[in-house]
Amino acid sequence: MAKVRALKCKECGAEYKVEPLHVCEFCFGPLEIVYDYEEIKKNISREKIEKGPKSLWRYVDLLPVENPTVGLSAGFTPLTKAENLGKLLGLNNLYIKDDSVNHPTLSFKDRVVAVALSKAKEFGFDTAACASTGNLANSVAAHAASASMKCYVFIPSNLETNKIIGSLVFNPTVVAVDGNYDDVNRLSSEIANEFGWAFVNINVRPFYSEGSKTLAYEVAEQLGWRIPDVVVAPLASGSLYTKIWKGFNELREVGLVDRNLPRMLGAQAEGCSPIYQAFKEGRDFIKPVKPNTIAKSIAIGNPADGPYAVKVAKESRGDIQIATDEEVIEGIKLLAKTEGIFTETAGGTTIAVLKKFVEAGLIGKDEVVVAYITGNGYKTMEVLEGKLNKLIHIKPSLIEFKQKVTGKK
């Protein structure tokens, strides 16, 4: 028996064969992988996982891939006990799940792309594609190169090329589209439907997004097979957040852990907060917004999984909060100076929102809390220009050093 049973519409429940499909033919709802958990239960154990590769593929029994061939080193990133930040916030059991050091392109996208392109190879695709200038483009271009796949990256033509140097180095074909972001989105959907390419977050999206579940599996294993009490994660499309939730649910389903599920706390930037707004207004649909924030890696104005993220926040007795651009910068600096981890704006948003939740009394001091850091600060250093300590200039003189730096005479 196969571990993956079918694809199923999240809205109407219609089932489909396991193919590169992503929306329901009837109601246009998104499709999700359905597993045979009884079958998986027979083959999975803590011991088997612990003996597996030191990558996300140690959880292959819970992923929609038979033979992983792409991104073999992705995942299994550090879970660090944040003693200093915890002390400052008044939390005794705060942990940082650090995907800023994911392999090969330093963000959580290496997880989802590893799964998407491994599956794409199984389906027989020879071309990978995405619309991005950021972490997603970096990861798709790198993985496509290592998998000997052709790669297309779509961007709006008014963007500077140096924004995508971290992708161009892997030699993809970059297509600059005359038009705005909406035009790029629409064209990408049309191309995904017409060409036989694996467009990672369109036609192979049901497989791609499953990669984020490994963020839950790893945390549980690294905590000694325990589910945390509270999770704080950024919200962009809503996919990562809902898949972390799905991951913890599955671990219980197959009997690897037995604790209660975590409260899911979500973080958005104030300048792009359509999921927060829907949650606060009690809406079950998302009103798209035009992003206006420095947190560009999570600035998704029309998030596909937004309604499901709202549902998870409610179901888990969680909450969603926002951070201003200034608070995002402070979040980046706070994590760096307390824990020595340099994250980008998504991580800054997560830390800023974690602080707000603590201040609002929503997290108990002894609860086990995990904050997900999903990207690396070295990619977007420009946001910190003028926001850090000034240099101290001195002449090469010991006297001047003592006077100006140490304050001693």
Binding site for other proteins (CB under 8 A): 11, 22-23, 26-29, 130-137, 154-156, 181-182, 184-186, 188-190, 192-193, 199, 201-202, 205, 236-237, 285, 287-288, 296-297, 299-304, 306
C-beta closer to other proteins: residue 42 or 287: 287
Collapsing DSSP to helix, strand or coil, 115 comes out as: helix
Contacts of 203 (CB under 8 A, 6+ apart): 20, 21, 22, 192, 193, 197
Residue 26 or 195: the one with the smaller Cβ distance to other proteins is: 26
The number of beta carbons lying within 10 Å of the beta carbon of residue 335 is: 28
CA dist 140 and 153 (Å) reads: 9
Residues in the chain: 409
User: Of 181 and 225, which CB lies nearer to other proteins in the complex structure?
Assistant: 181
Nearest to 138 by CA among 117, 156, 120, 113: 113
Nearer to other proteins, 102 or 135 (CB): 135
Q: How many C-beta atoms surround the C-beta of residue 18 within 10 A? A: 18
Closest contact distance (angstroms) between CB of 149 and other proteins is 19
Closer of 52 and 156 to other proteins (Cβ): 156
Q: How far is the CB of 131 from other proteins (least distance, A)?
A: 4
Q: Alpha carbon 368 to chain centroid distance?
A: 21
The answer to whether 23 and 207 are in contact (CB under 8 A) is no
Beta partners for residue 304, in sequence order:
none
In the complex, the smallest distance separating the C-beta of residue 263 from other proteins, rounded to whole angstroms, is: 26
> How far apart are CB 298 and other proteins at their closest, in Å?
9
The token pair at 358 is 């603590």
Query: Smallest distance from the beta carbon of 11 to other proteins, in angstroms?
Result: 8
Q: Closest approach of Cβ 181 to other proteins, in Å?
A: 5
Distance CA 195, CA 192 (A): 6
Nearer Cβ to other proteins (125/217): 125
Smaller CB separation from other proteins, 22 or 356: 22
Q: Supply the minimum distance, in Å, between the C-beta of residue 157 and other proteins.
A: 13
Cβ at position 74, least distance to other proteins in Å: 18
Residues 81, 335, 79, CA angle at the centre, nearest 5°?
30
d(CA 56, CA 77): 9
**Cβ of residue 370: shortest distance to other proteins, in angstroms?**
24
Q: Which residue is it, tokens 């977050």?
A: 201
Task: Give me the half-sphere count of Cα atoms (radius 13 Å) on the Cβ side of residue 115.
Answer: 29
Residue 91 token pair: 């939390």
One-character DSSP codes across 267-322: EEETTB-HHHHHHHHT-SSPPP----SS-GGG--SS-TTHHHHHHHHHHTT-EEEE
Q: Are 210 and 88 in contact (CB under 8 A)?
A: no
Nearer Cβ to other proteins (28/378): 28
Q: What does DSSP assign to residue 344?
A: -
In angstroms, the CA 252 to CA 254 distance is 5
Contact 406, 131 (CB under 8 A): no
What distance in Å separates the CA atoms of residue 336 and residue 354, rounded to the nearest whole number? 15
| CB 285, min distance to other proteins, A | 6
CB nearer to other proteins: pick between 182 and 258: 182
Nearer to other proteins, 100 or 133 (CB): 133
Closer residue to other proteins in complex, CB, 11/122: 11
Q: Are 114 and 73 in contact (CB under 8 A)?
A: no
| Shortest distance, position 23 Cβ to other proteins, whole Å | 6
